[in-house]
A and B are shown apart, each in its own frame.
Chain A
């Protein structure tokens, strides 16, 4: 892990990620509006600077323009999925009775975790949809361990993602099987780890969403819940997109070749690459397929880590569950996902 980060850092432009920290801890104080205004301006500044200063500034540097394009691309790509996830989450909040989940899921949480992992197969979408849905499940009384297992497995094992993996790796169905197995294992292990070590006070979820209140219009509750969740998650999505795009544009793909030869370093390196590139889970198989210099296990790690931990997701989780949770959970998930990939890769690939 040390090497790729050491390589990536000197080249990256001012990285917006650390600023999510003050944004969370000092919410309501002065810095947040300033930081947000600064970041908003950073995206707009190219065109403004062009009209003010003429053609000769770094603002027209092709790298900066590429950064703007990638920020917009990640946001536009994720938006329909985020919207879909927020609508489902809003509907769950306003219309689905809490008893439904307690009736459907096994009462024993240790059993509920693998059931929730497998249930991830039914949410067709990428990772941006699953964060708000998992949040609403917890608010509706689903045990957090099961909701987190669902959160991790849904973007990795749904039919669309598995189909695109099969297309990207023609003639090697074992890659699809390995991805399914490693992702299911990681999500279930993380659910059980949460049951054993997780602490509820890491979760800082907005408490207002407590389902339907008697005497209020369900539709209005649905609209207000949607509005809140979408705007909140959307802001964090853009923050994550800015960070991911910074890496995407500045890390030249030629550094990849330096790590391809060592089997251990290559697994860790591709796992780290999955975190910083934040490629959508429906597309990451195609990126993995292009990394031809790397071992199948390293490419598997890229596809298992990517949908569960990346900059855009960490930002979304900070927004939905709070910073204390998101950082611990993402770190643990990354370690678990790499371990599961190595074991499954050794077994199947």
Chain B
């Protein structure tokens, strides 16, 4: 890799990182929010090093170019003749460094979507933590719940707080077996490579297209004993509404009312 190009690659990488972390929230498709400030800082550091390097090399550009051409014309000469006055003795970055350009260009050009139903259908299900106690639900009206809390209340809450209650859930559509479909969330601990899925099977409405984000209102689908591990994670859907994909798709929040 030519010495003049190295700061350019730093600039490209830094610009890509800043595009997805500072100028948009695209990075939340790949990592948790906690990393975003560090990404912004990394982007700035890379851009600074790239700029300083580019300015430094442009000052030496003519000298550098002349040097490169001379070296290429004498590339068969023994290594010992490499001139000592060359300021770029770090220049021998192998070509594999260009691989860094791939994710940088991808992020600058189109930025792949967040993981969806394909991954959810093959991921291991997330183990929902054991709740010590459940907060009292509001006395009336439909209750917006995250999939985590819905799962916990269905399978752990001895008080059967969801019995007869209407709940509102949101997530994306994953086609299931035998014509059923699942409302799904992917949760990540660090980045999208460690995603785990939470699913609730939907009854009573035809499946929207895969990966559509929806908000559903309904009641627990009675199967098994509510409040125990035998209770089915399922919902009898009364109404369904399409919603845009949330900003942080891996954060399991209750839907807004």
Taken together as a complex, chains A and B put the C-alpha atoms of A206 and B38 apart, in Å, by: 29
**Chain A neighbourhood of B225, CB < 8 A:** none
Interface centre among B89, B110, B192 (most CB of A within 10 A): B192
Asked whether B127 lies within 8 Å of A234 as measured between CB atoms, the reply is: no
Asked whether A69 lies within 8 Å of B6 as measured between CB atoms, the reply is: no
If A76-B39, A252-B122 touch, whether A279 touches B98 (CB-CB below 8 Å) is no
Asked whether B193 lies within 8 Å of A279 as measured between CB atoms, the reply is: yes
Taken together as a complex, chains A and B put the C-alpha atoms of A285 and B127 apart, in Å, by: 13
If A62-B116, A235-B97 touch, whether A290 touches B190 (CB-CB below 8 Å) is no
**Which of B30, B102, B126 contacts A290 (CB under 8 A)?**
B126
Tell whether B94 is near chain A: CB-to-CB under 8 Å: yes
- CB-CB contacts of A255-283 with B at 8 A, as 1s and 0s? 01000000000000000000001111011
Asked whether A279 lies within 8 Å of B194 as measured between CB atoms, the reply is: yes
If A40-B102, A223-B49, A290-B124 touch, whether A234 touches B194 (CB-CB below 8 Å) is no
If A223-B49, A225-B90, A231-B9 touch, whether A43 touches B102 (CB-CB below 8 Å) is yes
**Chain A neighbourhood of B45, CB < 8 A:** 83, 87
A100 to chain B, nearest CB (A): 23
If A32-B95, A44-B105 touch, whether A279 touches B190 (CB-CB below 8 Å) is yes
- CB-CB contacts of B103-130 with A at 8 A, as 1s and 0s? 1011101111111111100111111011
Taken together as a complex, chains A and B put the C-alpha atoms of A234 and B102 apart, in Å, by: 11
Q: How many contacting A-B pairs (Cβ < 8 A)?
A: 211
Interface centre among B35, B46, B193 (most CB of A within 10 A): B193
Asked whether A235 lies within 8 Å of B94 as measured between CB atoms, the reply is: yes
Taken together as a complex, chains A and B put the C-alpha atoms of A164 and B95 apart, in Å, by: 37
Interface size (A, Cβ < 8 Å)?
A: 77
Asked whether B17 lies within 8 Å of A235 as measured between CB atoms, the reply is: no
Determine the main DSSP class of A at the interface with B: helix
If A27-B94, A76-B39 touch, whether A36 touches B31 (CB-CB below 8 Å) is no
Asked whether B190 lies within 8 Å of A283 as measured between CB atoms, the reply is: yes
**Chain B neighbourhood of A284, CB < 8 A:** 194
Q: Which of A109-117, A182-190, A238-246 contacts B (4 or more CB under 8 A)?
A: A238-246
Taken together as a complex, chains A and B put the C-alpha atoms of A70 and B99 apart, in Å, by: 15
**Chain B neighbourhood of A236, CB < 8 A:** 96, 99
Name the interface size band of chain B.
Answer: 35 or more
Asked whether A39 lies within 8 Å of B102 as measured between CB atoms, the reply is: yes
Asked whether A239 lies within 8 Å of B96 as measured between CB atoms, the reply is: yes
**Which of A206, A227, A287 contacts B49 (CB under 8 A)?**
A227
Nearest to A51 among chain B residues (CB) is: B110
**Chain A neighbourhood of B194, CB < 8 A:** 277, 279-280, 283-284, 286-287
If A47-B110, A238-B99, A239-B99 touch, whether A80 touches B42 (CB-CB below 8 Å) is yes
Taken together as a complex, chains A and B put the C-alpha atoms of A123 and B203 apart, in Å, by: 50
Taken together as a complex, chains A and B put the C-alpha atoms of A174 and B41 apart, in Å, by: 37
Tell whether A106 is near chain B: CB-to-CB under 8 Å: no
Asked whether A65 lies within 8 Å of B113 as measured between CB atoms, the reply is: yes
Tell whether B191 is near chain A: CB-to-CB under 8 Å: yes
**Which of A43, A249, A279 contacts B103 (CB under 8 A)?**
A43
Tell whether B247 is near chain A: CB-to-CB under 8 Å: no
Nearest to A71 among chain B residues (CB) is: B103
Asked whether A40 lies within 8 Å of B101 as measured between CB atoms, the reply is: yes
Tell whether B27 is near chain A: CB-to-CB under 8 Å: yes
If A170-B129, A225-B90, A283-B191 touch, whether A77 touches B31 (CB-CB below 8 Å) is yes
Nearest to B114 among chain A residues (CB) is: A69
Asked whether A73 lies within 8 Å of B10 as measured between CB atoms, the reply is: no
Given contacts A72-B30, A73-B29, A286-B194, 5 further A-B contacts (CB under 8 A): A23-B95, A44-B109, A227-B49, A283-B188, A287-B189
List 19 A–B pairs whose Cβ atoms lie within 8 Å, in order of A's numbering: A36-B98, A40-B98, A44-B109, A47-B106, A47-B110, A62-B116, A65-B118, A69-B29, A72-B103, A73-B30, A76-B30, A80-B38, A170-B130, A223-B49, A226-B49, A277-B194, A286-B189, A289-B127, A319-B96
- B contact residues vs A (CB 8 Å cutoff): 1, 6-7, 9-10, 13, 17, 20, 27, 29-31, 35, 38-39, 41-42, 45-46, 49, 52-53, 56, 88-90, 92-103, 105-107, 109-119, 122-127, 129-130, 188-194, 196
